[in-house]
Structure 1
Amino acid sequence: MAGQLKLGLALSYWSAGPPPGLAELVATAEGLGYESMWAAEAYGSDALTPLAWLGSRTTRMRLGTGIAQMSARTPVATAMAAMTLDHLSGGRFVLGLGASGPQVVEGWYGQPYPRPLERTREYVAIVRQVLARERVAYHGKHYQLPHPGGTGLGKALRSTVHPLRTDLPVMLAAEGPRNVALAAEIADGWISVFYPARDDAFYRKALAEGFSRPGARHTQDAFEVTCKVEVEIADDVEAAADRVRPLLALYVGGMGAKGANFHYEVFARMGFEAACTRVQDLYLAGHKAEAAAAVPLAMVEAVALVGPPAKIADDLAAWRESAVTTLLVSGDVAKLAAIADLVHR
């Protein structure tokens, strides 16, 4: 797998509205050799509509949800959208799914969060039934089709649309080892975040656990691993890291409650627990600038590419040797061109 890194364009979350110039940026990225683009959702813009709109301006790029939140749609609604976009794009759609966290799932979508791995397994099984154009019947702990109760008139139905691809790729977002193993077992790829390329034995072990399970769909060689990587090019390494520190402080300090922050746990496993505790305490106390300043350079360099071009080119060697197959990056046209030059050397 070494040396085979692909590039994907990560479409950022919208703030008050759509970022200007997105269509032109996407077209430029495709011309620069970016192989895919990925749209996210949380509690604002959705992940599917931008791919339909922007994907129509492209001819080659794969169109991935990174991620579509499972609690936002029933499994069959997600499968319907996936089939629709796959037809419209000529077979370029990738369905990335994720469980998100309890604050969003229960606070925004009004759905229960407990036992996310069980729910994920059931959700993917139903999506695959739809994609196989089977009559959809499922009786799990979290999803039941047809609905047991109501009028009693519900019946198992088959999609009227014939899927363009019954093997449309389904990828799972995961951070913890059990969820990573689940992705390796039941999915076609893993959408990772904050991946420590220089020390990825922990995740390789989790992936191997999933690949070894009975009925696993793939081996490592046929499995895609994407990772959103912050790239900041500057002669001064600390100055480049300063552009990444607020993001890490947000995720470690504010994306989740104290004691229930998956991103915190990711960095703690890397050996940064003391720094994470300080960052989280400062962030939750409202001291966001101080929280960002408390993020050590080593923590930034563990998951991001920062510094002058020559340093980044050297640091890319670790990514080429890692389990990651696709780097997802964002930026303006100049930055995307510079990253493409470094990765495609």
Structure 2
Amino acid sequence: MSMRWGMTVPLSGIPLSEHAAVFAALGDAGFTDLWSSEVAGADAFTPLTLAAAWAPQFRLGTAIAPVFTRGPGLLAMTAAALADAAPGRFQLGIGASSPVVVGDWNAVEFTEPFQRSRDVLRFLRAALAGELVDQQFETFPVRRFRLERPPAVPPQILLAALRPGMLRLAAAEADGVILNWLSPADVGTALAEVKTDKPDFDVAARIFVCPTDDAGHARSVGRRMIAAYLTVPAYAEFHRWLGRGDVLTPMWRAWSSGDRKAALAAIPDAVVDDLIVHGSPDECRAKVEAYVAAGITVPAMALLPTPALDSGDAGAILDVLTALGR
């Protein structure tokens, strides 16, 4: 069984101001990690800042903070502040994000994502160590930046990676890698590109979990998620690389033609069942452990909607958390 057991926060349906009870329930259930994301809901850092104050027993991580949407200095300052609030318990996960999040929603040009990720990783390594950074990186310049409050314990930096180039960069220069949207059987394919002898190198994965015995509901939710994400160019190329090109081509064709209904219908049950964990809490735990057996060291569940989770009943939601714990 994994030594670490993570949950993505904040939980939908419960205000951030009421998450102290969520953190307490997760701790009681045996969870060790709280991980955030950053798309169009909460930012990646505020939920973890609350957790740092309210639940100091947890390890914290961002999965991910985009490398385009904050300037390098601001990203370093934000990470340093959280590392200061949770010394030795915070891991900074960064990644390229997507053209929609970066360009359409944040008005930043999404160009050279590999190079930008590499340059931000190198900048953060120096800045979070308290060094003066005065350098022309390939994708941006930084002139005489030094943190006024460098963290006493610099956070480990993890890099989100999908395909060989970014996976190899993570192995060479980061303290860990963050995987996403893959099955347990896919983990080995990804890790074959991650050749490193770093003793504390972490392999984190966000794992989408729909805790319900209603397979029809879970597959309906899963299809919507898959269509939304796997039509993004980077994820489409990732799944071609993993060998799903033929089975997902009908979805991609329907999506590109504007027929969203046909795109959803073209996603086979087998693909949904590969990429979305669903079933009873016992079944979900066993499926998450399958990721661990394949090489994931930091499993981070992300809950998908179910009637219980969407009920607005905080007690029912906390019961689900307890059932998914160890």
- TM-score, normalised to structure 2's length? 0.85
The amino acid of 1:296's aligned partner reads P
The amino acid of 1:79's aligned partner reads A
How far did 1:243 drift? 3.2
Residues 238-264 of structure 1: CA distance to partner in whole angstroms, max 9, x if unpaired? 5533332221122123xx3xxxx1122
Would the aligned equivalents of 2:62 and 2:94 in 1 still touch at CA under 8 Å? yes
115, 137, 158: which is aligned to 2:146? 158
Would the aligned equivalents of 1:97 and 1:172 in 2 still touch at CA under 8 Å? yes
Aligned to 2:161: 174
Percent identical among aligned pairs is 27
- The alignment status of 1:27 with 2:24, answered yes or no, reads yes
Q: Which has the larger radius of gyration?
A: 1
Find the aligned partners of 2:49 and 2:281 in 1 and give their Cα distance: 34
Would the aligned equivalents of 1:28 and 1:333 in 2 still touch at CA under 8 Å? yes
The amino acid of 1:294's aligned partner reads A
- The alignment status of 1:245 with 2:233, answered yes or no, reads no
Pairwise mapping of residues 289-328 of structure 1 onto structure 2 (< 5 A)?
Answer: 289-308=261-280, 311-312=283-284, 315-316=287-288, 318-328=290-300
In structure 1, the gaps of 5 or more residues are: 147-155, 212-217
How far did 1:28 drift? 1.2
Would the aligned equivalents of 1:236 and 1:308 in 2 still touch at CA under 8 Å? no
Change (3 A) 1:286 1:24: farther
Would the aligned equivalents of 2:20 and 2:55 in 1 still touch at CA under 8 Å? no
How far did 1:224 drift? 1.0
Would the aligned equivalents of 2:44 and 2:62 in 1 still touch at CA under 8 Å? yes
How far did 1:29 drift? 1.1
Change (3 A) 1:104 1:157: closer
Find the aligned partners of 1:158 and 1:309 in 2 and give their Cα distance: 47
Aligned to 2:321: 336
Change (3 A) 1:242 1:44: closer
Q: Secondary structure at the match of 1:71?
A: coil
Pairwise mapping of residues 191-202 of structure 1 onto structure 2 (< 5 A)?
Answer: 191-202=178-189
In structure 2, the gaps of 5 or more residues are: 304-316
Pairwise mapping of residues 1-345 of structure 1 onto structure 2 (< 5 A)?
Answer: 3-4=1-2, 6-11=4-9, 21-43=18-40, 45-146=42-143, 156-166=144-154, 168-208=155-195, 211=196, 218-219=197-198, 221-235=199-213, 237-253=215-231, 256=232, 261-308=233-280, 311-312=283-284, 315-316=287-288, 318-331=290-303, 332-340=317-325, 344=326
Find the aligned partners of 1:207 and 1:157 in 2 and give their Cα distance: 32
Aligned residues: 313
How far did 1:97 drift? 0.6
Change (3 A) 1:12 1:57: closer
The amino acid of 1:133's aligned partner reads G
The amino acid of 1:100's aligned partner reads S
How far did 1:308 drift? 4.3
Change (3 A) 1:19 1:133: closer
Find the aligned partners of 1:21 and 1:293 in 2 and give their Cα distance: 38
Would the aligned equivalents of 1:246 and 1:289 in 2 still touch at CA under 8 Å? no
Find the aligned partners of 1:98 and 1:321 in 2 and give their Cα distance: 25
Find the aligned partners of 2:11 and 2:134 in 1 and give their Cα distance: 35
Would the aligned equivalents of 1:64 and 1:96 in 2 still touch at CA under 8 Å? yes
Would the aligned equivalents of 1:13 and 1:40 in 2 still touch at CA under 8 Å? no
Find the aligned partners of 1:199 and 1:282 in 2 and give their Cα distance: 25
Would the aligned equivalents of 2:285 and 2:324 in 1 still touch at CA under 8 Å? no
How far did 1:316 drift? 4.6
Residues 199-239 of structure 1: CA distance to partner in whole angstroms, max 9, x if unpaired? 4332121112xx2xxxxxx53x5211111112234445455
The amino acid of 2:200's aligned partner reads A
